[in-house]
Structure 1
Amino acid sequence: METAEKELTLEEAFLRLEEVTRALEDENISLEESFTVYQKGMELLKYCNESIDKVEKKVLVLNGEGKLDEF
């Protein structure tokens, strides 16, 4: 994934995923272009999943006994 993509907020990445979906739904898209757009979408999806995983890990907190609890 491009370095610039790593600087996206999760919301921006979701908006770009919507753009990818719209592009793939366009019946005038060429096969070659659809593969390129699809690949970009998969990279964005991976980025979103990684971002969500990071947030989920931050939501875990230590309790008084030193065990992790979900927040």
Structure 2
Amino acid sequence: MAKEKFQIDEGFIQLDEIIKQLEQEDVKLSDAVALYTKGVEVLKECRDSLDKVEKELIILEQDGEQNGSF
């Protein structure tokens, strides 16, 4: 099965939910570690997605400059 494409908006929602769970007073240490680990994974996917978009924008800008569009 192919990996589902990461959606950055969903990633931000997941991070928000993880933070809310971590802020609960009754969260067990083992659960906190698991949540933190998941949060780091989601954050990396968000960062990778933003990096990809930034690179695409740079390429578009360079193409526009070469074609005299900007």
TM-score scaled to structure 2, two decimals?
0.79
Please list every run of at least 4 consecutive aligned residues from structure 1 whose deviation after the TM superposition is greater than 6 angstroms: none
> Which residue matches 1:22?
20
> Which residue matches 2:7?
9
Q: What is the CA RMSD across the aligned residues, in angstroms?
A: 1.8
Unpaired runs of 5+ in structure 2?
A: none
Per-residue CA deviation, residues 19-38 of structure 1 (Å, 9 max, x unaligned), is: 00001001110000000000
Question: Given residue 48 of structure 1, which amino acid in structure 2 is its aligned partner?
Answer: C
Unpaired runs of 5+ in structure 1?
A: 66-70
Q: Percent identity?
A: 35
Write the mapping of 1:1-71 to structure 2, written as runs, cut at 5 A: 3-4=3-4, 7-60=5-58, 61=60, 62=62, 63-64=65-66
Q: Distance in 2 between matches of 1:24 and 1:34?
A: 6
Report the structure number with the largest CA radius of gyration: 2
Structure possessing the higher relative contact order (Cα contacts under 8 Å, 6 or more residues apart): 2
Matched pairs, number: 62
Higher helix share: 2
Higher strand share: 1
